[in-house]
Amino acid sequence: MDGESAVAYGYDGDPLFTKEVWFEEIVKQGFYLSDQKIVETYVDQAAPLVKQVVDWGQKANQYFHFFKPGGFFTSGKAMGRALKQGISEHPDINVIEDIFITDLLTRDHRCVGAIGIDVYSGEVIVIKAKAVIIGTGGFQPFSLKVTASDMTGDGIGMALRGGVSVADMEFPLYVPGVCLWPPIHKGSIFPFLYNIITSSYPETPEPKMINSLGRDISKIIPPDQLSMAKGSEWMKLIFTYWWGKEIVEGRGSSNHGIYFSFEDFSGKAFLEGTQTIINMLPIWYKDLWKYQGDDISDLRDLVVEGKPWEVGLGNEYSNGGIMVNEKAQTELPGFYAAGECSTGCFGAHRVHDALVEMLVQGHVAGEYASHYIKNIEAPKIDREQVKYYINRICSPLNRKKGVSPLQVRKGIEKAADKGFNLIREEKRMKDALSDIQEIKREMIPRMSTTSETRAYNQEWIESIEAENLLLCLEAGLRAAIERKESRGTHIRSDYPEVDHDNFLKRICFKLNEKKLDMFTSQPNVTRMDLPKGKVENIMEYALSCEPKFKNAGGNGTLKNQPKNNKKGGSS
């Protein structure tokens, strides 16, 4: 939340971190592609909603650590439990779980419900509704990703099929420091958090970033950029830029990452130096050397044995998604999109919190949808459309033989790794696009599940996800090829300049007769005029943002925090 609100709630916030400052930071960090009306809503509405979640969390006995200027640091599980607490306080909310919504139902140019599959029973379910709000998350087309397995752009896919536009699909965000080894920890962000937090605890051994030639990457990064990255969420873009170069130019580790080396520390020094932060882990997790559910003592043992951690850039978030306005409304009446599946708040690069985006947009979507449904008639379902969608989603089940949906998914990941990942370049992007166009033409129509059983048929679910993911990647690649500049997380080796004169525009898509039509739109401007001219490269632009505040848990002091902060911030 903004610092003034934090102070008003009794936290040790920084009043200089005002809503205005916050707004400016988001717009600049987003390389001016944000819809400024959406950003205004974000900064205006965040504080009471964040406070609400923190209060739920405390009721559920979860620890939320406040840090300056106005943030909270907690675990994903704690966040989940806080939201669960919120749901339990609203008994009118009827929760149904494990339903995979596949398509929106529309009639007379309005949304009248949705269709999906009960994953466990395999039944097709039709939901009739005056309004539909989705919060289905982003799309992660790469082989290395850090969130749940179903981040396959399903909401974006259903929006496109429902006639709704999407935008900003060329801007995936990466976490630098995702575990690549051992396989049991692949995708864990512990090394990233460890690295970011070392800046707050000088006694904690800071890993050296090493490429496959044994060179220290931090020596390649200019000191001003290195200092900007440390302890800040800017680390994500800065390290993507520098590590990405190493990996793409063939100096990465065997699993396409780099190494965190602790060679300057003896095993004993490492164990002593990590004591403070390791002692904090039981606040959220069950034990020392336990992160989320992972027993990470093997990472400790690697260091003690003198071995490095192999880490990579894992896809965490998609900036792009469904086009909405500041009320979370889409162009289809009755259809709202909130959180990562939508786009507009963070432009080309997100530094501030996606959780807050989710809270604010979820809240405004609910608010405006509840107004909307008051004045409309009960929905009528178009039976022909239902039949059409049932036929669409069931066709892989009914096909006697064909291509395995899992192989389609792997083909998509291979294409994304090749041409959409990290540092981009025309030829690789075009090759990847041609690969996915071939998958679209040759494999998608032939997808077939091995078993006809509907109950928990993993291949069946995968077949639907594959189609959505492919659609998202196609849009992403085409936008990336079109954008002949570098901006945000779209980093091109062949067009390194940030070109405000030609590309300060959003690239959008709409599905027309099963084909993606591209168009552009101007970012919505309220307070900050769009810049002109060109900047030499992404890093020069980043430095020009001169962020006043570091937005990461790492710049707070977790030291001497009470284990249970039930009373924290309750004034």
List residues near another protein by CB under 8 A: 76-77, 80, 84, 87-88, 91, 93-98, 100, 119-120, 147-150, 181-188, 292-295, 298, 404-407, 410, 449-453, 455-459, 461
Q: What angle do CA 464, 467, 469 make, to 5 degrees?
A: 105
Q: Cβ closer to another protein: 76 or 214?
A: 76
Q: Return d(Cα 520, Cα 508) in angstroms, integer.
A: 5
Q: What angle do CA 17, 18, 24 make, to 5 degrees?
A: 90
Q: Are 252 and 244 in contact (CB under 8 A)?
A: no
Q: Cβ closer to another protein: 100 or 372?
A: 100
Q: Are 176 and 189 in contact (CB under 8 A)?
A: no
Residue 565: Cβ within 10 Å count = 18
Q: In this structure, what are the phi and psi dihedrals at residue 521, rounded to the nearest 5 degrees?
A: -145, 155
Pairing of strands 309-318, 258-261: antiparallel
- Residue 91 beta carbon to another protein: minimum distance, rounded to whole angstroms: 8
- Residue 94 beta carbon to another protein: minimum distance, rounded to whole angstroms: 7
- Residue 142 beta carbon to another protein: minimum distance, rounded to whole angstroms: 15
Torsion of CA 191, 195, 196, 200, to 10 degrees: 130
* CA gyration radius, the chain: 23
Q: Cβ closer to another protein: 138 or 568?
A: 138
- Residue 320 beta carbon to another protein: minimum distance, rounded to whole angstroms: 21
Q: Cβ closer to another protein: 210 or 408?
A: 408
Q: Cβ closer to another protein: 45 or 463?
A: 463
Q: What is the DSSP string of 198-265?
A: TTT-TTSPPPEEE-TT--BHHHHS-HHHHHHHTTSTTHHHHHHHHHHHHHHTT-S-TTSSEEEE-TTS
- Residue 449 beta carbon to another protein: minimum distance, rounded to whole angstroms: 7
Cα-to-chain-centroid distance, residue 344:
13
Q: Return d(Cα 5, Cα 15) in angstroms, integer.
A: 8
- Residue 453 beta carbon to another protein: minimum distance, rounded to whole angstroms: 5
- Residue 189 beta carbon to another protein: minimum distance, rounded to whole angstroms: 9
Q: Cβ closer to another protein: 100 or 270?
A: 100
Q: Cβ closer to another protein: 112 or 447?
A: 447
- Residue 403 beta carbon to another protein: minimum distance, rounded to whole angstroms: 10
Q: Cβ closer to another protein: 16 or 148?
A: 148
271, two tokens:
């164990």
Residue 323's SS3 state is: strand
Question: Considering only CA atoms, which of 484, 480, 477 is closest in space to residue 498?
Answer: 484
Q: Cβ closer to another protein: 276 or 297?
A: 297
- Residue 412 beta carbon to another protein: minimum distance, rounded to whole angstroms: 14
- Residue 378 beta carbon to another protein: minimum distance, rounded to whole angstroms: 24
- Residue 293 beta carbon to another protein: minimum distance, rounded to whole angstroms: 1
Q: Return d(Cα 5, Cα 354) in angstroms, integer.
A: 19
Question: Considering only CA atoms, which of 155, 132, 115, 162 is closest in space to residue 376?
Answer: 132
Q: Cis link prior to 69 (omega < 30° from 0)?
A: yes
Q: Cβ closer to another protein: 469 or 508?
A: 469
Q: Return d(Cα 330, Cα 158) in angstroms, integer.
A: 13
- Sign for the CA dihedral angle at 215, 221, 227, 229 comes to negative
Q: Cβ closer to another protein: 144 or 221?
A: 144
- Residue 74 beta carbon to another protein: minimum distance, rounded to whole angstroms: 13
Q: Cβ closer to another protein: 387 or 410?
A: 410
**113 burial level (CB within 10 Å; 0-12, 13-18, 19+):** buried
